[in-house]
Structure 1
Amino acid sequence: MKFVQSLDNVATPANGIAATTGAFLTPIFHYFYGTGRLDILIVLFFMIILDWITGISAAKKDFSYSSDYGISRIPRTLFLLALPALANLLDKVMGTPGFLFYGVTFGLIYHTWTSLTANAHRANWPMPKSIEKLVGSEIKAKAERAARKEQK
């Protein structure tokens, strides 16, 4: 009898809604991104989050942040998350199992890594000199963009 009573905490409307939502969204997720690709997408998502964090810190440090700039990051982030889905769909159409998906996803991870590293440099966070050299052009581009915003 205690077992049945303990199910009262599990069989709640909120849990039912969450389970139904998951059952509905999971096949959609697999259709757009493919199966067995959650790990690489989590890496991309985590890198984007780190890019946001370092970008906000850098902008606060050099006073280049504006609400317009922050709001424009939302469509950019949605675009970055949509590109692997598009690449996966193109792989399906062309019959190339994962070629475009992984190429696009790793390219986005590298691009986001250079961006977040340059942002961390602008925020004066500690970083090895070898890493700074690797992303030197991105650091320069971000510094120039921040300087242009200050002049406005």
Structure 2
Amino acid sequence: MKFLQSLEHVVTPANGMAVTAGVFLTPIFQYLYGTGRLDILFVLFFMIALDWVTGISAAKKDKSYTAEYGLSRIPRSLFLLALPAVANMLDRVIGTPGFLFYGVTFGLLYHTWNSLTANAHRAGWPMPKSVEKLVSAEIKAKTERAKRKES
């Protein structure tokens, strides 16, 4: 009897909705991205979120932020999250298990890492000189683009 009483806190409408959403979304997610790839996709999602945070901070610091620019980042982010799905589907079509998926995903991780690191530098956040040197071209490009928006 005590066991059944403890279930009243587990079996709630909110938990039921979460389970239902998971039942429908998990197969779609696995179809689009493949199985066993949640970790790398979480890293990509997290890095895109960090790119947003650092980009907003940098743009506010150099006064180049506009609502239009911020809104244009939404389709770009959705595009970045869709590319690994397209690569996974191409892998299935041509029979290369994960070759294109991991190539595209790691390319996006590298690109996003460059962007968020350059944004952090522009925002004035501390970072090792060796990291600054690695992304110096991206820092220069972002700084020049911000200066063009000011004028």
Measured in 2, the distance between the counterparts of 1:124 and 1:44 equals: 24
Q: Which amino acid aligns with 2:73?
A: R
C-alpha displacement of 1:46: 1.0
Local SS of the residue matching 1:35: coil
Aligned partners of 2:50, 2:25: CA distance in 1, in Å?
Answer: 26
Per the normalisation by structure 2, the TM-score is 0.97
Match of 1:33 in 2: 33
- After the TM superposition, which parts of structure 1 deviate over 2 Å for at least 4 consecutive aligned residues? none
- In structure 1, how many angstroms separate the alpha carbons of the residues matched to 2:135 and 2:12? 51
Shift of 1:133: 1.2
Letter in 2 for 1:136: S
Alignment of 1:3-152 (within 5 A): 3-151=3-151
Q: Give the alignment's Cα RMSD to 1 decimal.
A: 0.8
1:104 partner amino acid = V
Unaligned runs of 5+ in 2: none
Letter in 2 for 1:125: W
Q: Distance in 1 between matches of 2:113 and 2:41?
A: 14
User: CA offset at residue 57 of structure 1?
Assistant: 0.7
3-state SS, counterpart of residue 3 of structure 1: helix
Distance 2:150 2:13 in 1: 52
Q: Equivalents in 1 of 2:88, 2:65: separation in Å?
A: 35
Structure 1 counterpart of 2:127, one-letter code: M
* Counterpart amino acid of residue 142 in structure 1: K
Q: Which amino acid aligns with 1:81?
A: L
Alpha-carbon distance, 1:2 to partner: 2.2
Distance 1:128 1:10 in 2: 47
TM-score where L is the length of structure 1:
0.97
* Residue identity (%): 79
Please list every run of 5 or more consecutive structure 1 residues that lacks an aligned counterpart in the other structure. none
In 1, the alpha carbon distance for the partners of 2:120 and 2:140 equals 13
The amino acid that maps onto 1:28 is: I
Aligned pair count reads 151
Query: 1:43, 1:30 → 2: CA distance?
Result: 17
